[in-house]
Amino acid sequence: MKIKKKILIIGGTGFIGSNLAEKCIKKNLTVFSLSKSKPKKIRKIKSVKYLLCNFNNYSNLEKKLIKFKFDYVVNCGGYVEQNKSKKKLYNMHYKGSVNLYNFFKDKNLKAFIQIGSSSEYGDSDIPNKEENLCKPNDSYGIYKYKSTKFLIDKYKKKNFPITVLRFYQLYGPMQDFNRFIPQLIKASICKEKFSTSKGKQYRDFLHINDAIIAIFKSIKSAKSKGEIFNIGLGKTIQLKKILALVKKKNKYLDPVYGKIKIRRGEKMLLFPSIKKAKKFINWSPKISIEKGINLTNQYYLNLFCGGNL
């Protein structure tokens, strides 16, 4: 009988982690999630083994994981909010990554996937390219980049099987309502006013299913080890156009333009080059923004209205 491979998802109760866990179950993997808290009801998956632990405490991490043997680890843990204190961001992103390395460095992992961020580039040139000099301009980006440098160094010196995936703006099922697209769709479905900026920013949005495929391809590919990949749609869409797509789909939207101010230092244009991911791991996005918005909108329609307005 073939032994099922085991995957540990750090932050398996979050948006990325829950979607990844769901797809891993379908691929017949044994899935463990490690996070500080239990999953929300909407994200709880029956076959997942949930472990509770704050991974920026090494002693607790060791006690929680010592009896298990994993084939793969995906680190999508930590805060996504950039307004957290420097200490919290340092502990969750940098210290947490260091602890994970120290625990797994001699465990013969087949792959360790680190979820990075476009924020690591900061004021780098557009389109962002992996070889660009990173100039992060906030604490979130700084500690994400510090984690990347630490782990890539461990590949070079110790052959640790790390791959870093820098995701751009992800969206899709099970995302919290503190993110742009879920907020927008909820306002449209529930006929609420939607506070927004003037909507002139151009951003790269990637559906979560494409992001999960990039994780699986990175796990399988020998060429991915020690590499950093940008994972995004590879082209931009203006925020105003996304509002128009949602309005067309639900026949309603009441935006209050200019209510939310542009953040200091916020770029009006942000997107990556994804040529390296295409070349090394044979990955490219398959879901257009129009299709992705339709899929996501249907998910929230089912959530709020049983599938119909």
pLDDT, tens digit (0-9, with 9 covering 90-100), for 85-95: 888 988 889 99
Q: Is the pLDDT of residue 81 over 70?
A: no
- The gap from C-alpha 60 to its chain's centroid, in whole angstroms, comes to 25
pTM for the predicted model, two decimal places: 0.95
In this structure, whether the domain defined by 176-204+234-269+287-305 belongs to CATH 3.90.25.10 is answered with yes
Q: Which tokens sit at 152? A: 């890539």
Identify the pLDDT of residue 167.
98
| DSSP-derived 3-state class of residue 42 | helix
Q: What proportion of the chain, given as a percentage, has pLDDT over 90?
A: 89
Over residues 245-272, the mean pLDDT reads 93
The separation between the first and the last C-alpha atoms of the chain, rounded to the nearest angstrom, is 49
Where do the structural domains in the chain lie, given as residue ranges?
Answer: 6-169+206-231, 176-204+234-269+287-305
Identify the pLDDT of residue 115.
98
Identify the pLDDT of residue 308.
61
Q: Phi, psi at residue 308, to the nearest 5°? A: -135, 145
Identify the pLDDT of residue 168.
97
Q: Is the pLDDT of residue 1 over 60?
A: no
> Are 60 and 51 spatial neighbours (Cβ–Cβ below 8 Å)?
no
Identify the pLDDT of residue 85.
84
Q: Which CATH architecture has domain 6-169+206-231?
A: 3-Layer(aba) Sandwich (3.40)
- The gap from C-alpha 72 to its chain's centroid, in whole angstroms, comes to 17
> Are 297 and 207 spatial neighbours (Cβ–Cβ below 8 Å)?
no
- Give yes or no on whether 6-169+206-231 and 176-204+234-269+287-305 have one common fold: no
Q: Amino acid identity, residue 24?
A: C
Q: What proportion of the chain, given as a percentage, has pLDDT over 70?
A: 96
Identify the pLDDT of residue 263.
82
- Mean pLDDT over the full length of the chain: 94
Chain position carrying tokens 């990075």: 116
Q: How many CB atoms lie within 10 A of CB 224?
A: 24
Over residues 265-279, the mean pLDDT reads 94
